[in-house]
Amino acid sequence: MDEAFWQNKWELNQIGFHENKPHPFLVRFFPELCLEKGARVFVPLCGKSLDIHWLLAHGFSVIGIELSIIAIESLFQELGLVPQITQASKVQRFVAENICIYAGNIFALTQAELGEVDATYDRAALIALPDTMRIEYARHIADITNKAPMLLVTLDYDQACLNGPPFSVRTEEVLRHYTEFYTVQMLDKHAVSGGLKGKCPATEVAWHLASK
C-alpha cells in the first residue's frame, strides 16, 4: 500500500471509509482513558473524521496526521476554521485553535514535532496498513507518543473473503505488536452491521492499551 493509493482515493472522492457520525466505541470507551479537558489526543491517519469533531466538542486538543491535503482542507472547512500552515521538517503543519494536523507520511513524523500527547485514538490507521507495515507502525506510534495510553479499534474477518484495506487484524496480532509496550485489554466487540462492505461477516473490536 503506497501513498498514491490513498491520494487517489481522496482525489476521486472514493471515501466510503468516512463515517457520517462519531464512532460508537469512541463515544462509549474514550472516557475510560480518564483524561482531563484540554488533554492532547493524537489521531493517526485521521482523514476528516467526525471523531475529531467529537473530541474537540468534549474539550480535548487534537493532533492528527494525514496524507491527503484534500482531506485536511475539508476537515478544517467543515470545522469552520482557517488554519495557519507552516513547514515542519518533512511534513506540513495545519494549526487552528485546539487542532493541529500534520500533512505527510506518518513515518516521517518525529516525537519532537508531535510533542507530548496524553492519549492516542486509532480507529482507522492500523487496519489501513498491510501486514508488512503494521509491526513497524505499532513501534513507531509507541516511540513518538512515549507509549501514551491508546483506544484502538480493529476489524476481524476472513481476509481471504475480501482484499483490504481495511485489513483484518486479529487478536493474536494485536498482542504480538503491542504487548512489548502496553498492557492490552479487549473492551468489547460487535458484528459489523450488514458485513464488511456488504460482502463478508466482520467483527469490530475495541482495545484499551495502557503504558507499561
The strand ranges marked E within 117-169 are 119-122, 150-157
**What CA–CA distance (Å, rounded) separates 183 from 202?**
25
Nearest to 56 by CA among 85, 97, 24: 97
| Residue 189 φ/ψ, nearest 5 degrees | -150, 150
The strand ranges marked E within the chain are 40-44, 61-66, 84-88, 91-96, 99-103, 119-122, 150-157, 182-191, 202-211
Contact 156, 171 (CB under 8 A): yes
Alpha carbon distances (Å) from 57 to 53, 98, 184? 6, 10, 28
Q: Is 123 labelled a binding residue?
A: yes
The strand ranges marked E within 3-44 are 40-44
Contact 85, 101 (CB under 8 A): no
Q: Is 73 labelled a binding residue?
A: no
Which residues are CB-neighbours of 73 under 8 A, at least 6 positions away? none
Q: Which residues are annotated as a binding site?
A: 10, 45, 66, 123
Residues belonging to the binding site for S-adenosyl-L-methionine are: 10, 45, 66, 123
